[in-house]
């Protein structure tokens, strides 16, 4: 990703990162406000059901108490008893006695007016006949509810069935399951109440917030205007939005910090490329059967002006992401040629493996760089191996073209870090490869009972089936080397043999190794078909061995 793209993507991510916590907090504020308000309304509805049940129970008890007394109807004792029950029972305003459907007397005395018993709107399960609206004859007050049991009748105020102290604006109704409204507060809309009875549920609609409770054959409904919700919403937002803003600020700060770091890393990398601060170390590759050093892997190092060395895994990912890897590969190639030109010309069986990035493989330009660098030198193409990781094969068609061209030019091609990426057997089969490097993570499992330890022999078997030479990377112990020898792995690379070292040290290492293996023949070099290389004979004669 180049600089301006990086800035653009970071700004985009920062905007999303800043908006996200605010949106989440807005959502939480809303859902908390709705939940809180609905809990409040539900509580009112529960209290209304409780009040309605208390009223019914009181009335039922009074009626059941007076009916079996068998007092002389409308006698002074009878009227006194009715009055006593009326005074002592909160829910009862008046008790009346009926005979043949006509009111004879009430708790206030004998009745000489003609009053007929009103027909019941509904009858409860235990036989109480309820008439919702009757006009009291004696007190001449507001409409009341009449509840009749046999010859006695009680008048009660409907508000007894919703007798709950609610905040102003909250509407309350207690309704039977059949839809008869027993009592209401603050005049809830009748249509709305009917709708809620048909499908009782807590909900928020365009105008109202609604909660309902169903119990004992009754439904209590509490309703408040939706605008009330906004008061609660503002309270929630006052708490949650500052938290969201703080998280958003943290995200933006982290992104700005990351961007500045990346830009400064990118800037430093750019300067390092211009100043050619990259050098190459060489890690020997040894033929396992003979112990002969047959080559080395070129490993880039960033040498800062203060002399400190930066490991490749700290800058290669950034270089690959930003496209700066291409000039770095060029500098590696130039270093290999400058460092080992004479040695490679003198030792024809010696090879150097150069790492190519995914971009190098995709564009194919690294091949042109190698060819240009080898021009006018005595280094032969087969002495330069090209290593590509599985990431380099993501664009399999361009990878195939580059690898085919590389092999046609005489280079051996290796797949690096095998097993850590996504390569499949079909990839391996379809790409022109000479060798496979088993990643250190698999070598580490040798002799252990880790879950992946069983994979190593499969990789070896697969490479052999595909006739690829094998290089085992990161060999650190004799046990690993013995295992690899037993499985006929051809080449090894690792600290058991040598760490990566500067060119002069590598040349000395190589000469020493050569002297130790006087007269021994290396037999297992990969051979690209287009420029076949004969088995190399290692000698310690003054005359360098020739190939081809």
With contacts defined by CB under 6 A, name the span among 130-138, 312-320, 394-402, 524-532 that binds ligand C2E: 312-320
Of residues 313 and 541, the one with the C-beta less far from ligand C2E: 313
Q: Least Å distance between CB 385 and ligand C2E?
A: 12
Of 94, 129, 339, 416, the residue at the interface with ligand C2E (CB under 6 A) is 416
CA nearest neighbour of 2 among 358, 325, 398: 325
Residue whose token pair is 């859902």: 31
Strands of 78-128, DSSP E: 94-99, 102-106, 109-110, 122-123
Of 311, 458, 485, 512, the residue at the interface with ligand C2E (CB under 6 A) is 311
Contact 148, 134 (CB under 8 A): no
Contacts with 441 (C-beta within 8 Å, 6 or more apart), sequence order = 419, 420, 452, 474
Of 176, 343, 357, 513, the residue at the interface with ligand C2E (CB under 6 A) is 357
Q: Does 283 bind ligand C2E (CB under 6 A)?
A: yes
Long-range contacts of range 252-255, CB-CB < 8 Å, 24 or more positions apart?
Answer: 252/14, 252/17, 252/18, 255/10, 255/13, 255/14, 255/17
Of 20, 43, 54, 316, the residue at the interface with ligand C2E (CB under 6 A) is 316
Q: What are phi and psi of 191, to 5 degrees?
A: -65, -45
Q: Does 188 bind ligand C2E (CB under 6 A)?
A: no
Q: Does 132 bind ligand C2E (CB under 6 A)?
A: no
Of residues 322 and 329, the one with the C-beta less far from ligand C2E: 329
Q: Least Å distance between CB 302 and ligand C2E?
A: 10
Q: Does 355 bind ligand C2E (CB under 6 A)?
A: yes
Of residues 63 and 352, the one with the C-beta less far from ligand C2E: 352
With contacts defined by CB under 6 A, name the span among 168-176, 226-234, 363-371, 490-498 that binds ligand C2E: 490-498
Q: Least Å distance between CB 238 and ligand C2E?
A: 53
Dihedral angle computed from the Cα positions of residues 242, 247, 253 and 259, in that order, rounded to the nearest 10 degrees: -140
Q: How many amino acids of this chain bind ligand C2E (CB under 6 A)?
A: 24
With contacts defined by CB under 6 A, name the span among 188-196, 259-267, 296-304, 529-537 that binds ligand C2E: 296-304
Residue whose token pair is 């990878």: 399
Q: Does 330 bind ligand C2E (CB under 6 A)?
A: no
CA nearest neighbour of 436 among 401, 407, 458, 460: 460
The H or E element spanning position 221 is strand 218-225
Q: Does 230 bind ligand C2E (CB under 6 A)?
A: no
CA nearest neighbour of 369 among 318, 323, 416, 332: 332
Q: Does 369 bind ligand C2E (CB under 6 A)?
A: no
CA distance 445 to 253: 42
Q: Does 339 bind ligand C2E (CB under 6 A)?
A: no
Of residues 257 and 495, the one with the C-beta less far from ligand C2E: 495
With contacts defined by CB under 6 A, name the span among 219-227, 235-243, 376-384, 491-499 that binds ligand C2E: 491-499
Contact 325, 360 (CB under 8 A): yes
Of 184, 287, 330, 473, the residue at the interface with ligand C2E (CB under 6 A) is 473
Of residues 176 and 357, the one with the C-beta less far from ligand C2E: 357
Q: Does 185 bind ligand C2E (CB under 6 A)?
A: no
CA distance 162 to 54: 11
Q: DSSP label at 292?
A: -
CA nearest neighbour of 150 among 79, 75, 74, 98: 98
Q: Least Å distance between CB 204 and ligand C2E?
A: 58
Of residues 236 and 297, the one with the C-beta less far from ligand C2E: 297
Q: Does 312 bind ligand C2E (CB under 6 A)?
A: yes
CA distance 524 to 191: 93
Of residues 120 and 326, the one with the C-beta less far from ligand C2E: 326
Strands of 242-367, DSSP E: 278-287, 293-303, 309-310, 351-356
Per CB under 6 A, residues contacting ligand C2E are 283, 298-300, 311-313, 316, 325, 329, 332, 355, 357, 416-417, 440, 473-476, 493-495, 500
């Amino acid at each position: 990703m180049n600089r301006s793209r990086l800035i653009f993507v970071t700004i985009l991510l920062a905007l999303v990162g800043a908006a996200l916590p605010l949106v989440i907090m807005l959502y939480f504020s809303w859902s908390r406000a709705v939940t809180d308000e609905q809990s409040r309304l539900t509580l009112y509805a529960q209290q209304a059901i409780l009040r309605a049940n208390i009223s019914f129970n009181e009335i039922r008890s009074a009626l059941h108490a007076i009916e079996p007394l068998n007092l002389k109807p409308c006698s002074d004792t009878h009227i006194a008893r009715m009055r006593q029950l009326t005074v002592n029972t909160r829910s009862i305003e008046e008790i009346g006695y009926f005979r043949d459907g006509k009111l004879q007397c009430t708790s206030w005395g004998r009745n000489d007016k003609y009053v007929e018993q009103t027909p019941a709107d509904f009858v409860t399960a235990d036989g109480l006949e309820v008439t919702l609206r009757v006009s009291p004859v004696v007190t001449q007050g507001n409409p009341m509810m009449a509840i009749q049991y046999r010859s006695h009748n009680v008048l009660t105020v409907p508000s007894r069935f919703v007798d709950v102290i609610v905040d102003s604006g909250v509407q309350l109704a207690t309704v039977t399951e059949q839809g008869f409204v027993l009592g209401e507060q603050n005049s809830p809309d009748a249509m709305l109440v009917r709708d809620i009875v048909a499908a009782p549920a807590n909900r928020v609609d365009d105008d109202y917030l609604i909660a309902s409770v169903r119990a004992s054959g009754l439904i209590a409904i509490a309703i408040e205007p939706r605008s009330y919700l906004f008061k609660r919403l503002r309270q929630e937002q006052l708490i949650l939005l500052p938290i969201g803003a703080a998280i958003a600020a943290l995200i933006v700060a982290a992104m700005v910090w990351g961007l500045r770091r990346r830009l400064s890393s990118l800037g430093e990398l750019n300067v390092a490329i211009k100043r050619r601060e990259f050098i190459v170390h060489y890690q020997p590759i040894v033929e396992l059967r003979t112990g002969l050093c047959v080559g080395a892997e070129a490993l880039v190092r960033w040498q800062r002006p203060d002399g400190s060395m930066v490991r490749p895994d700290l800058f290669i990912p950034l270089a690959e992401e930003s496209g700066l890897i291409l000039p770095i590969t060029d500098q590696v190639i130039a270093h290999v040629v400058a460092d080992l030109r004479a040695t490679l010309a003198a030792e024809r069986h010696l090879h150097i493996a150069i790492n190519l990035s995914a971009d190098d493989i995709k564009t194919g330009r690294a091949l042109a760089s190698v060819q240009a660098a080898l021009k006018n030198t005595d280094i032969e193409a087969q002495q330069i191996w090209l290593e590509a990781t599985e990431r380099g094969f993501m664009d399999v068609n361009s990878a195939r073209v580059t690898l085919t061209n590389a092999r046609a030019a005489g280079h051996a091609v290796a797949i690096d870090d095998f097993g850590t990426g996504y390569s499949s057997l079909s990839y391996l089969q379809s790409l022109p490869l000479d060798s496979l490097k088993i990643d250190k993570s698999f070598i580490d499992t040798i002799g252990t009972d880790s879950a992946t330890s069983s994979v190593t022999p499969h990789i070896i078997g697969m490479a052999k089936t595909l006739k690829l030479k094998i290089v085992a990377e990161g060999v650190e112990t004799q046990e690993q080397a013995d295992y690899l020898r037993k499985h006929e792995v051809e080449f090894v690379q690792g600290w058991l043999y040598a760490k990566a070292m500067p060119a002069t040290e590598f040349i000395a290492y190589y000469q020493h190794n050569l002297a130790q293996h006087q007269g021994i023949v290396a037999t297992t070099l990969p051979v690209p078909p287009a420029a076949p290389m004969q088995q190399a004979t290692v000698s310690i004669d003054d005359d360098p061995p020739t190939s081809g």
